[in-house]
A = this chain, B = another copy of it.
Amino acid sequence: MNQLPSKLLESAVNEFARLPGIGRKTALRLVLHLLRKPATEVQAFSEALINLRNEVVYCKICHNLSDTEMCSICSNPKRDKNLICIVENIRDVMAIENTQQYQGLYHVLGGIISPINGTGPSDLTVESLLNKVKNNSIKEIILALSATMEGDTTNFYLYRRLSAFPVKVTSIAKGVSIGDELEFTDEITLGRSIINRTIFETAQF
Contact B5 A48 (CB under 8 A): no
Q: Which of A30, A46, A50, A54 has the most CB of B within 10 A?
A: A46
Contact of A12 among B5, B15, B49, B73 (CB under 8 A): B49
Contact A31 B52 (CB under 8 A): yes
0/1 string, A26-42, CB within 8 A of B gives 1: 10111111110101001
- CA gap between A46 and B54 in the complex, in Å: 13
- CA gap between A121 and B188 in the complex, in Å: 64
Mark the stretch among A61-69, A138-146, A172-180, A190-198 that contacts chain B: A61-69
Contact A56 B20 (CB under 8 A): no
Contact of A49 among B5, B28, B42, B93 (CB under 8 A): B42
CB neighbours (8 Å) of A73 from chain B are 5
Contact B5 A90 (CB under 8 A): yes
CB neighbours (8 Å) of A1 from chain B are 94, 98
Interface of chain A, main secondary structure: helix
- What is the copy number of this chain in the assembly? 2
- CA gap between A31 and B3 in the complex, in Å: 28
Contact B42 A72 (CB under 8 A): no
| Chain A residues bordering chain B, tally (CB within 8 A) | 58
CB-nearest residue of chain B relative to A57?
Answer: B6
- CA gap between A15 and B3 in the complex, in Å: 28
Q: Which of A5, A19, A44, A67 has the most CB of B within 10 A?
A: A5
Q: Is A117 an interface residue (CB 8 A)?
A: no
CB-nearest residue of chain B relative to A47?
Answer: B46
A48 CB to closest chain B CB, in angstroms?
Answer: 5
CB pairs A–B below 8 angstroms (26 shown): A1-B94, A5-B59, A5-B90, A6-B56, A6-B66, A6-B71, A8-B48, A8-B56, A9-B52, A9-B65, A11-B51, A12-B48, A12-B52, A14-B48, A15-B44, A15-B49, A19-B34, A28-B91, A32-B91, A34-B52, A34-B53, A35-B56, A42-B52, A43-B50, A43-B53, A45-B46
